[in-house]
Amino acid sequence: MRDGWQMWRGEDGFNKEQVEAVINAGIKNQPDKATTFNAQNDARSSRVSWVNNEAWIRTALYEYIKIANRNAFNVRVENYADLQYTEYHASEEGHYDWHTDVFWGETKPFDRKLSITVQLSDPSDYEGGDFEFSEVETPANSKQKGTVLIFPSYLSHRVLPITSGVRRSLVAWFEGPRWN
């Protein structure tokens, strides 16, 4: 696995029109205060909305998932994912502490396998808010608008506090059979 992640920078990822369409869909669904699956509400300060009804987004993301999976991960993954538009506001001390995207205590017959994040903000729109991994090297230059980053959902990661402006992103978690 190449450094534990695969990345397409800038318009090699989502183009300007796609980025704007995701932002518009996210705002239309009225972002609200985010929660976490384990109720550690101090671990996260952000606003989210769900854009699961935007089939074109899932289709576009799955194309990247298929390439990344073939190149690096080789896990069984389906074209099913929840799609979350996220805003981190400096005025709300936006951040997300260390976490994984897998619900290890889940009893369902599937797990989140590959996580994907799309950078929707221009780096000049905010300060802080760096995305980091704990177990593998963090990719350089991941703040470019449109950048697509894919990694195994079990990798621990975080978003550092926003110190000014607003950071917007799209995240999704593609699922497959339980991790063994």
Spans of the chain, pLDDT less than 70: 1-3, 36-41
Q: Please check whether residue 10 lies inside any domain of the structure.
A: yes
Q: Side chain identity at 133, as an amino acid letter?
A: F
CB 75 within 8 A of CB 152: yes
Beta-sheet strands, E only, within the chain:
6-8, 32-33, 44-45, 47-50, 81-89, 95-99, 110-119, 126-128, 131-133, 148-152, 157-159, 162-177
The pLDDT of residue 39 is 53
CATH code, domain carrying 49: 2.60.120.620
The pLDDT of residue 36 is 62
How close are the terminal C-alpha atoms of the chain, in Å?
18
Number of compact structural domains in the chain: 1
CB 94 within 8 A of CB 158: no
* Boundaries of domain holding 46: 6-177
Residue 58: what are its φ and ψ, rounded to 5°? -60, -45
The pLDDT of residue 68 is 97
The pLDDT of residue 35 is 72
Residue 43: DSSP 8-state = G
The pLDDT of residue 43 is 84
The pLDDT of residue 74 is 95
CB 171 within 8 A of CB 119: no
Q: pLDDT tens digits, residue range 2-39?
A: 458 999 999 899 999 999 999 999 999 999 888 765 55
Q: Please check whether residue 1 lies inside any domain of the structure.
A: no
The pLDDT of residue 180 is 75
Question: What pTM was computed for the model?
Answer: 0.93
**How many Cβ atoms sit within 10 Å of the Cβ of residue 46?**
21
**Nearest-angstrom CA–CA distance, 51 and 169:** 12
Tokens of 16: 């300007």
The pLDDT of residue 69 is 97
Q: Please check whether residue 88 lies inside any domain of the structure.
A: yes
The pLDDT of residue 1 is 42
